Structure 1
Amino acid sequence: MTTTFAVAHVVAHGEPYDIGFAHGTALKERLRAFLDDGVARLNHLLPTAVSVDSLSGDIAAHRAEIIRSTPRLAEELSGFAAGAGLTPDEATLLQLRREIMGYQRIPTRGDCTTYARPGVLAQTVDLNGNLDDQIAILEVGRGDRRALVLSFAGLLGYLGVNSRGLAVGLNLVLGGQWGPGVPPYLAIRHLLDSATSVESAVSALRSLPFASSRTIVLADATETAWVEVIGDEYRVMTAPESVHTNHFLAPDFTSRDELNVFARNSSLRRLRTAESGLRDLPADAAPDAHFAVLSQPPICVGDDGDIRRERTVAAVVLDAKNGALHLRPGNPRLSGTRSFTL
């Protein structure tokens, strides 16, 4: 059985404000409905209800860091708010949903699994909140710098591939203190807008104050890397192939890992399965061969009907050599492949 999902495809080129305005205008009705659904569904997930007003101080602190560190994205965010008919706080809140949720230490069945080899990066996207109805592909850029970005619910960035041959993915890891800074999803968009290689992406990451811990996975035509981030500390591992799930791999970060034992066991199982699957894939494997790896349990996490639990809401194969993003929305075992190219 194949499941059909509506995936918005937004094409927006030009100055940052114009890109944001086009994005917001294209998804205006959908984003208003999403924000009105329990404050971007946060009140379906959090133990205590929140409102945009109650979060205004946190939102302002993060926005100040976004303006300082990524001014072009701050300008795009202003255009996005105007196009979607949102207040600046509402538009910024959409970029900060994960930071507002904070650490999730309850037992979980999964989260994102990511692997990369030169020219290719593939991963599942595991999120709570039933966000597979909020998927969009953004085709954005200025001049000859373009990127394909997977987005959820108004995010300016999440993961993607750019016209310079760089693919960027991510994993949630839990460590350190979360606070005002650049949300990792916006940091990834910053890399797609500006970096040309794994090396330049690593350099760019070191200049950004992250709002929360993450692992960023990178691939270009010749190498791969993962970058684990806790606060202002970065650990980098470059390798011919990279595999990462949701526990820290850097030896001096492992003692600071806040992942609960149930989630850690899931993360270890998914890491081993992805490593084995990647070893068995030929270097020229087609996207559907990668999706076969991403669709198998425990990498693919099914829906148990609980909106609070992470589940696989998309799987993506990024072709950095050819500037392509291949997507299976929802559970990748149940949906067909949709392809987008620069």
Structure 2
Amino acid sequence: MTTPFAVAHVVARGEPYDIGFAHGAALKERLRAFLDDGVGRLNQLLPTAVSVADLSDDIAAHRVEITRSTPRLADEIAGLAAGAGLTLDEATLLQLRREIVGYRQIPTRGDCTTYARPGVLAQTVDLNGNLDDQIAVLEVGCGDRRALVLSFAGLLGYLGVNSRGLAVGLNLVLGGRWSPGVPPYLAIRHILDLATSVASAVAALRSLPFASSRTIVLADATETACVEVIGGEYRVMTSAESVHTNHFLAPDFTSRDELNVFARNSSLRRFQAAEAGLRDLPADADPDEHFAVLSQPPICVADDGDIRRERTVAAVVLDTKNRALHLRPGDPRLSRTRSFAL
């Protein structure tokens, strides 16, 4: 097995601006090259080419909401810009790529499969844009509050586990109107910085104006939850074990689901496979046993050569007891496990 791309490991401690500066300085060349590649590859995904200047109004509108709701993360974005030699618009755009792409009702084969039980959260990361060359693991925090965060291309957050034993994952769901707000990836970083449990994470999420629809999956030592978000509406489902893919599970959200039939069929197949895989895993399953589930189709989505299509660019197992992040970058069938612990 091989690891197709190097995984950057960035350790950054202190106040938000300092953390951002260290992150930007560590990945300066990579982030500049990524932004110069068709504006962070957006021009390979969007129907019409854009520039950072074209997007400045959208970026500014989101920045107002980010600054209002998560001022510490706004400071960290400013530090990221300074450390990497980027403009503030460029550093903010890195947090907003998914919102800029928006959602299109096109056939797709995958977009993240997540499951959780007390003590562990595991998921595939399915993205378009060939982002497996942009993977980084951030070890960030101040004082005794620390987190391990999986990041892509300058994101301050994507998924992770914190020093209080909370793990956070996510799934794309499509519904409602996407508008200026806090991107879900930043919302995840916000709760990793602040929350100590599933319950406190749910409370923190309810205070944020989400920019786009998403499901946030949570696990601590005793429970799990899925939080589905459309606009300012939240539906929370708690259970001993949670599985989520890309269709809504909350009964009153299902009628507002914008997935096309092809994507929904894919989502249902992966949901059923994840349910079966989790059911067969022993309570004390090790990371390799979880990766075996995540590496099987239809959960693992292979590369078909189309940069516009989502495919599995990483798989992650988060261990809340040992505060560890286990990662297989790229196609998890072809890469070795890398482990990080707080």
TM-score bracket for the superposition, by shorter chain length: over 0.9
Partner of 1:260: 260
Residue 41 of structure 1: SS of its match in structure 2?
A: helix
Q: 2:74 aligned with 1:74, yes or no? A: yes
- Aligned residue-pair number: 342
Residue 40 of structure 2: SS of its match in structure 1?
A: coil
Question: Can you list the C-alpha shifts for 1:199-241, whole angstroms capped at 9, x where unaligned?
Answer: 0000000000000000000000000000000000000000000
Residue 40 of structure 1: SS of its match in structure 2?
A: helix
Partner of 2:295: 295
Partner of 2:44: 44
Partner of 1:88: 88
Partner of 1:223: 223
> Partners in 2 of 1:2 and 1:104 — Cα distance?
34
Partner of 2:151: 151
> Partners in 1 of 2:315 and 2:98 — Cα distance?
19
Partner of 1:140: 140
> Partners in 1 of 2:22 and 2:3 — Cα distance?
28
Q: Residue type of the partner of 1:235?
A: R
Q: Residue type of the partner of 1:80?
A: L
Deviation at 1:4, TM superposition (A): 3.2
Residues 242-321 of structure 1: matches in 2 within 5 Å?
242-321=242-321
Residue 304 of structure 1: SS of its match in structure 2?
A: coil
Deviation at 1:2, TM superposition (A): 2.6
Q: Residue type of the partner of 1:55?
A: L
Residues 4-83 of structure 1: matches in 2 within 5 Å?
4-83=4-83
Question: Can you list the C-alpha shifts for 1:243-287, whole angstroms capped at 9, x where unaligned?
Answer: 000000000000000001000000000000000000000010000
Partner of 2:160: 160
> Partners in 1 of 2:178 and 2:187 — Cα distance?
15
TM-score (norm 1): 1.00
Deviation at 1:3, TM superposition (A): 3.6
Deviation at 1:104, TM superposition (A): 2.3
Q: Residue type of the partner of 2:23?
A: H
> Partners in 2 of 1:89 and 1:96 — Cα distance?
10
Partner of 1:340: 340
Partner of 1:128: 128
Deviation at 1:105, TM superposition (A): 1.1
Residue 227 of structure 1: SS of its match in structure 2?
A: strand
Deviation at 1:319, TM superposition (A): 0.2
Deviation at 1:118, TM superposition (A): 0.2
> Partners in 1 of 2:129 and 2:2 — Cα distance?
22
Q: Residue type of the partner of 1:104?
A: R
Partner of 1:169: 169
Question: Can you list the C-alpha shifts for 1:108-129, whole angstroms capped at 9, x where unaligned?
Answer: 0111000000010000000000
Partner of 2:113: 113
Q: 2:103 aligned with 1:103, yes or no? A: yes
> Partners in 2 of 1:323 and 1:103 — Cα distance?
34
Question: Can you list the C-alpha shifts for 1:87-146, whole angstroms capped at 9, x where unaligned?
Answer: 000000000000000012110011100000001000000000000000000000000000
Q: Residue type of the partner of 2:237?
A: M
> Partners in 1 of 2:165 and 2:119 — Cα distance?
7
Q: Residue type of the partner of 1:268?
A: L
Question: Can you list the C-alpha shifts for 1:282-306, whole angstroms capped at 9, x where unaligned?
Answer: 0100000000000000000000000
> Partners in 1 of 2:31 and 2:67 — Cα distance?
23
Q: Residue type of the partner of 1:326?
A: H
> Partners in 1 of 2:2 and 2:80 — Cα distance?
33
Which blocks of at least 5 consecutive residues in structure 1 are unaligned?
Answer: none
What's the % identity of the aligned pairs?
Answer: 88
